[in-house]
Amino acid sequence: MKEHYRTRPIIGIVAAQYERKTGGIVAGVPMSYVRAVEANGGIPLLIQLTNDQDILDTHYRHCDGLLFAGGGDIEPAQYGMETHPACGTSDLLRDRVELLLARRALADGMPVCGICRGIQLLNVAMGGTLYQDIPSEMPGSLNHYASRNSEGRTLMPHTIAIEPGSWLAKQLGTTDIPANTFHHQALMDVAPGLRVTALAPDGVVEAVEGTDAGFIVGVQCHPEDLWDQAEPRWAQLFAGFVAVARHATPVIR
């Protein structure tokens, strides 16, 4: 099944749950993620939140790579901390599903990409911790919610400094690029197996990459809102990730 789609790899994206104002629950992700994967050569596959392990296993076995999207805060117990008063609400089912899939993909060598919550999720899955609230735990930091109410989510209030020679620097063709920002949490203790490859001007971690054989990349900004118009260089994040997934041969257990 997977070989049939090898020229356009299947990228699994976990679909969050949203309550509609008119009632009922919707499963989905912003179309910006779907469009970014599709336009850059991949086939998006939405994976719904469920406790049914057979369903998750079937979805997983169809994937060539996994993309972990933005969203709410991860339950602090998942990384061994008490809940900070400023920590937001968590979706425990989403935490469980994403951590399960992330750890399975990491063990199998399946390429993974994390965006915003996604970079935090990968860090937690690998044994790292998080600042639960940047304003109260990192005095003097920038406003990392500055883009929240901007039209099109494209306000880029600061640049990020990317480590020369990193995969991200090579892929984007720069070591300094503007970024939007929508988060009040950030990586604290970086997990073993990850290295920091980009920082905000205040020292907040903006990107990580894996240190071992498997492909891991995470970014704290939201390039899915920037790549098509506001900052086209971010398209190369998605194009590069899809290309890696196309050629990867993970061992599916």
Closest CA to 232 of 157, 161, 162, 156: 156
Other beta carbons less than 10 A from residue 199's beta carbon: 16
Place of tokens 């994206």: 13
Which amino acid belongs to residue 240? Answer: G
Residues 83 and 2: their CA atoms lie apart, in Å, by: 41
Active site residue 224: yes
Dig out the tokens for 162 from the structure.
């990317």
Q: Which of 75, 98, 206, 224 is catalytic?
A: 224
Question: Does 63 participate in catalysis according to the annotation?
Answer: no
Q: In angstroms, rounded to a whole number, what is the distance separating the alpha carbons of residues 123 and 189?
A: 8
Q: How far is CA 26 from CA 17, 30, 62, 83, in A?
A: 6, 12, 23, 27
Active-site residue (options: 116, 158, 206, 231): 116
Q: Is 210 helix (H, G, I), strand (E, B) or coil?
A: strand
**Catalytic residue check, 222:** yes
| Of 182, 222, 224, residue with least CA distance to 44 | 224
Q: Where are the alpha helices (DSSP H) in 110-251?
A: 117-125, 134-137, 167-172, 235-247
Q: List CB contacts of 12: < 8 A, sequence separation 6 or more.
A: 45, 46, 47, 59, 60, 62, 63, 65, 66, 67, 101
Q: Which of the residues are catalytic?
A: 116, 222, 224
